[in-house]
Amino acid sequence: MRTRRPTVVEALIGALPTVLAVVLAAAVPRLPGLLPGVEPHQSIGLGAQIKHAEKIASHSMTVLANSAVPFGAAHRNVVIPILGRIVIVSLVGWRRALAGPGPGPTLRYGLLWVAAGLVVLALAYVVFINTTPGFYEPAAPGSDNRINAVAAIGYCAIVIGVAMLVSALMSWTSWPCSSPR
């Protein structure tokens, strides 16, 4: 028996409790006396939170580059712009494919995979912005990189989405901007 596939709005409404729980966990500081420990959670200032968020973003770009090119040591300054260009070309191609023939649905699915991966990355790392700088960084050695457990799903989704985009772009026989033969 086949079940009905939920619409995008129904899926977003279904995911709302999870998103709300993540936002509350990130926004509400730990209350003193509820968890074991002598001192309550010390919040860091806004400036330190912004610097820590920048460091987490920087480290996550390194982890994404290592995920996209698992063999060798490709530098993120090479890999990330290439991934970005693939996504931009796919966005332009998808918009142009809406008017005519082409791999519009495949590009759309690939772009959705990339977008979903970015959302998972953001939600996975947002809870660590308010932590002590120096800990909980994606590229940290040893057990400090355990924050990548949930974010790994996002990295995989991004790499799968980019692979879908590359295959769709390579199979596109008549580009909308090319001249007729």
Q: What is the dihedral of CA 117, 119, 121, 125, to 10 degrees?
A: -170
Is residue 149 domain-resident? yes
**Highest mean pLDDT, choosing among 32-46, 65-79, 85-99, 112-126:** 112-126
The confidence score (pLDDT) of residue 84 equals: 92
Is residue 28 domain-resident? no
Place of tokens 């999870």: 18
The confidence score (pLDDT) of residue 35 equals: 44
The confidence score (pLDDT) of residue 143 equals: 65
Average the pLDDT over 34-63 and give the result.
Answer: 74
Is residue 176 domain-resident? no
Surface-to-core class of residue 100, CB atoms within 10 Å of its CB (0-12 exposed, 13-18 middle, 19+ buried) = exposed
pLDDT tens by residue, 102-143: 677 788 889 999 999 999 999 988 888 887 777 677 877 776
User: Does 23 have pLDDT greater than 90?
Assistant: no
The confidence score (pLDDT) of residue 36 equals: 44
Is residue 10 domain-resident? no
Place of tokens 């800990």: 135
Q: Give this prediction's pTM.
A: 0.69
Is residue 103 domain-resident? yes
Give the confidence band of 176 by pLDDT, cuts at 50, 70, 90.
low
Is residue 24 domain-resident? no
In contact, 119 and 181? CB cutoff 8 Å: no
The confidence score (pLDDT) of residue 156 equals: 93
Residue 63 structural domain: 43-171
Residue 164 and residue 151: Cα distance in Å, rounded?
A: 20
- Taking the CA of residue 138 as centre, how many other CA atoms within 13 Å lie in the half-sphere pointing to its CB? 30
**What six digits make up the tokens of 96?**
């142009």
The larger pLDDT score, comparing residue 135 to residue 71, is at 71
User: Does 22 have pLDDT greater than 90?
Assistant: no
**Domains contained in the chain, number:** 1
The larger pLDDT score, comparing residue 17 to residue 41, is at 17
| Count of beta carbons in the 10 Å neighbourhood of residue 177 | 7
Residue 90 and residue 2: Cα distance in Å, rounded?
A: 32
Question: Mean pLDDT in the chain?
Answer: 79
Is residue 6 domain-resident? no
**What six digits make up the tokens of 88?**
């931009």
The larger pLDDT score, comparing residue 104 to residue 61, is at 61
